Structure 1
Amino acid sequence: MDVIVSPTPKLSGTIQALSSKNYTTRYLLVAALAEGTSTIYYPAHSEDSDAMRRCIRDLGAVVEEDEEKIVITGFGNQPKPVCELDVGNAGAVLRFLMAVAAMGEEITFINRYPDSLGKRPHDDLIEALQSIGVTVEHNDGKLPITIKGGQAKGGKIKVSGSISSQYLSALLFLTPLLKEDSEIEVLHDLKSKVVVGQTLEVLAQAGIEIEASEDYMYYRIKGGQSYQAKTYHVQGDYPGSAAVLAAAAVTNSNIRINGLTEDSKQGERAVIDVLQAMQVPMTHQNAVVEVNGNGKLQAVEFDGDQFTDGVLAMVAAAVFAEGTSRFYNVENLRYKECDRITDYLNELRKAGANVEEKQSEIIVHGRPEGVEGGVEINAHYDHRVIMALTIVGLRSKQPLRIKDAHHVAKSYPIFFDHMKTLGALVEWVD
């Protein structure tokens, strides 16, 4: 379905932040890898986290859920034999489970989204798994991918981090369960180091010991470890909240988002710093962010690698800032559900934004007077693009029609419900 976003001068009200997708998927996985029963309170509900629920159940975990929590009895280091796994359009779930599949027999990850996840490369993880004895059949590094496991052995592993940190995280989930000790060396560069920090945090909570270098480029992992059954509480989600905060920043607003802890290790917590640098009137205390937007913003420059999943929303805010903004070190945005630089900026231009790109930069020449709008734009089946384009629609002179906006459910199924609650003029259309 499409959504029509009409110019909206004012937002007001209070919402509860969604639970973190990144933490939910990681807690679901470590609970499945544990022997015993774990409890996860306030898990996220999104296409990504639902894909992880579905797949760990297929692999033998017992999953029971109510409105408040999910209780998981894990399969430990012995996933149940299964011919196929469907991860939907969830890249992180695919990569994490490719590593888990190395402990099984033979699993094929099917390609249900050929125009999105099906286009994304996984060569670096494939090469790392092959180096420890895993047989991998693949389509030029892309789905469908078949993992023939059972032969994985620890040792010295090298993996590139220049495309995605998810390859490294996948190996960090797997290697503690191998009999032998392992060393992991990250080659080239490591994107989204903050997200690796989240993986290490969750692993430590699950009782796994990993020795990491200060720069996250080298790891020592003891073999023969076991994941412990634990109780986890999922914190509020900064990446999804970034879009709501940016929407409040570009309009006249008085909104509150509850559940965003100040000391969160989520890199996207930096969107608070970006908006404050844009001189947006706001406060952040007692896990509550309050924005009193006046629609007036100043240009900024920020290293986007620190808050990858918040960059698009901040770019949308910068469209209406006074001056030229620059978000650099963001090349890994090109390897997401779509090319989040070229594809996204092309759609912004259709709406009337003045933007330009370099290989690893997004440059925005702000138009405080607003943009024209009045066009149909393609979000390329990408949840982050959908949310970011919605922000632009609020300050367009004429409505924007966003194609296939239902794909926002990948991370934030009730995004448009929340926006309506705050007063945004949005309408679903067939």
Structure 2
Amino acid sequence: MHPLAHPLVSRRAEALRGAVTAPGDKSISHRALMFGGLAIGETAIHGLLEGEDVLNTAKAMRAYGAAVRRDEDGVWRVSGVGVGGLAEPEDMLDLGNSGTGARLLMGLAAGHPITSFFTGDASLRRRPMARVMKPLGDMGARFVSREGGRLPLAVTGARHPLPLDYTLPVASAQVKSAILLAGLTAPGETIVVEPEPTRDHSERMLRHFGATVRVEDRADGTRAVTLTGQPELAAATVRVPGDPSSAAFPAVAALLVPGSEVRIANVGANPLRFGLFETLLEMGADIALENRREEAGEPVVDLLVRAGGLKGVVVPPRRAPSMIDEYPILAMAAACAEGPTVMEGLAELRVKESDRLGAVARGLAACGVEVEEGPDRLVVHGKGRPPLGGAMIAANLDHRIAMAFAVLGMVSEKPVSIDDGEPIATSFPGFVPMMNRLGADIAEEPA
């Protein structure tokens, strides 16, 4: 444990009750700032996630010349510079813990004839960037990086970006989005072919700002996304829905803590992000989807979640892209379910903010849960009752690991401790007080 750590301990909770709103969707918040920064006019963003990851993207867009401010009423306003109009940053861009921010901004920078320097925290500096550098290099950008394509790195964008027809070797919304962002300044059409569909926030928001984007599902099961380059993007109002990845934590807590009933308002229900809730419903979860609507091209619902028994299921690998960030919290639900839950196609979890697959397996085992871990799979053998708990969990600077095990502590027989809760602020500022208002017992402990 490092000396500035903020340990948390989560104890068994009474029934959770109340209504909450999930913080704004992180993926949509990043993109709203970036596309607003490329649009002509002033974009108003309502409900922006004000976590550290997104605030670092806001700082980066200011460094690129966009005017970004927050009004007293919480609305963010971005005055853009137009496609191709980015200024060269005077200083290093520090993206903190955000892989999304780093990879998407690398795509943005690759299409402009300027040099940008990127860095991040210890976790981000360990994560691979080569899969973004390869296609962006094919479009004319040049990179200098640490061994293995790791941050810190420099990118000098192309003076005359080339349109690209690129098939992703592995499904990745971040790589797809980086290519589309670079393709905005290229003439003609840039095409990205996905082996399976990934979250489509970039495509939806590009259309919202006035770009032409076509999506074609091909007979071989792949999906082709085609962007017409050099559009003029026009400022647009964006209302950011609640992040389903964040809503997952109070939702699973409400399912597991006996007697709970929690309403979670304004949750993004994009079908390419909703795999966790599909899976929970298959496990027998009592979740009602209410008040369906659409905002800024994104479907939105309210969730009413009641506690009840869950049964183990086999989660199909093809669902992984729609819930890749939610496997840690699904594993907590699986630990309390009746029977084994089999999760496959999880290789991507090895290169997130931490090796999430390894962290979940080690943490559950330490809490008395029987698990099987493979290179890209996890099997959790639930006994239909709360696990023993009682462990100290190493969060490894990973917000989702910290929050997932805080939820497990709400239902386990013995308290669960997390060595550092500080990273939670990157995606879910206010997580601990919000959960405690519902009836959780999570406290910060002296380091």
TM bin, normalised by shorter chain, reads over 0.9
Output the CA distance in 1 between the equivalents of 2:62 and 2:373: 42
1:185 Cα offset (Å): 4.3
1:375 Cα offset (Å): 2.0
Output the CA distance in 1 between the equivalents of 2:419 and 2:169: 33
1:390 Cα offset (Å): 1.2
Q: What is the aligned counterpart of 2:342 among 318, 321, 326?
A: 326
Is residue 374–residue 400 contact of structure 1 (8 Å, CA) maintained in 2? Answer: yes
Output the CA distance in 1 between the equivalents of 2:238 and 2:353: 29
Output the CA distance in 1 between the equivalents of 2:205 and 2:388: 45
1:168 Cα offset (Å): 1.2
Amino acid at match of 1:297: L
Q: Show the 5 A alignment for 1:299-310.
A: 299-303=312-316, 304-310=320-326
Residues 143-174 of structure 1 show CA distances to partners (whole Å, capped at 9, x for unaligned) of: 01101124242233435341632111111122
Output the CA distance in 1 between the equivalents of 2:171 and 2:85: 30
Q: Please name the residue that 1:382 is paired with.
A: 398
Output the CA distance in 2 between the equivalents of 1:89 and 1:266: 26
1:391 Cα offset (Å): 1.7
Amino acid at match of 1:41: H
Residues 391-419 of structure 1 show CA distances to partners (whole Å, capped at 9, x for unaligned) of: 21112211111011110111111111111
Output the CA distance in 2 between the equivalents of 1:272 and 1:165: 20
- SS of 2:128 mapped into structure 1: coil
Q: Is residue 107 of structure 1 aligned with residue 116 of structure 2?
A: yes
Give unmatched runs, 5+ long, in structure 1.
none
Q: What is the aligned counterpart of 1:202 among 202, 205, 209?
A: 205
Q: Please name the residue that 2:296 is paired with.
A: none
Q: Is residue 60 of structure 1 aligned with residue 68 of structure 2?
A: no
Q: Relative to structure 1, is the Cα distance of residues 219 and 273 closer, same or farther in structure 2, using a 3 angstrom cutoff?
A: closer
Output the CA distance in 2 between the equivalents of 1:273 and 1:186: 25
Residues 119-143 of structure 1 show CA distances to partners (whole Å, capped at 9, x for unaligned) of: 1111121111111221110112100
1:338 Cα offset (Å): 0.8
Q: What is the aligned counterpart of 2:238 among 232, 238, 253?
A: 232
Q: Please name the residue that 2:421 is paired with.
A: 405
Q: Show the 5 A alignment for 1:42-53.
A: 42-53=47-58
Percent of residue pairs identical:
26
- SS of 1:323 mapped into structure 2: strand
Q: Please name the residue that 2:311 is paired with.
A: 298
Output the CA distance in 2 between the equivalents of 1:156 and 1:42: 34
Q: What is the aligned counterpart of 1:372 among 384, 388, 393?
A: 388
Output the CA distance in 1 between the equivalents of 2:310 and 2:13: 17
Is residue 276–residue 330 contact of structure 2 (8 Å, CA) maintained in 1? Answer: yes
The count of corresponding residues between Structure 1 and Structure 2 is 420
Q: Please name the residue that 1:164 is paired with.
A: 172
Is residue 317–residue 391 contact of structure 1 (8 Å, CA) maintained in 2? Answer: no
Q: Is residue 288 of structure 1 aligned with residue 302 of structure 2?
A: yes
Q: Is residue 362 of structure 1 aligned with residue 378 of structure 2?
A: yes
Output the CA distance in 2 between the equivalents of 1:201 and 1:161: 23
Output the CA distance in 2 between the equivalents of 1:164 and 1:269: 16
Is residue 249–residue 275 contact of structure 1 (8 Å, CA) maintained in 2? Answer: no
TM-score, normalised to structure 1, is 0.93
Output the CA distance in 1 between the equivalents of 2:192 and 2:236: 29
Q: Please name the residue that 2:264 is paired with.
A: 257
Q: Please name the residue that 1:272 is paired with.
A: 277
Is residue 17–residue 258 contact of structure 1 (8 Å, CA) maintained in 2? Answer: yes
Q: What is the aligned counterpart of 1:394 among 410, 429, 437?
A: 410
Output the CA distance in 2 between the equivalents of 1:337 and 1:73: 31
1:184 Cα offset (Å): 2.8
Q: Is residue 336 of structure 1 aligned with residue 352 of structure 2?
A: yes
Give unmatched runs, 5+ long, in structure 2.
1-5, 292-300
Is residue 41–residue 234 contact of structure 1 (8 Å, CA) maintained in 2? Answer: yes
Output the CA distance in 1 between the equivalents of 2:267 and 2:225: 31
Q: Relative to structure 1, is the Cα distance of residues 351 and 133 closer, same or farther in structure 2, using a 3 angstrom cutoff?
A: same
Residues 352-380 of structure 1 show CA distances to partners (whole Å, capped at 9, x for unaligned) of: 12111222222110032322222211011
Q: Is residue 6 of structure 1 aligned with residue 11 of structure 2?
A: yes
Q: Which moved more, 1:300-309 or 1:413-422?
A: 300-309
Is residue 278–residue 298 contact of structure 1 (8 Å, CA) maintained in 2? Answer: yes
Residues 283-335 of structure 1 show CA distances to partners (whole Å, capped at 9, x for unaligned) of: 221233122204x2111222333221222211110101001111222221112
Q: Show the 5 A alignment for 1:87-98.
A: 87-98=95-106
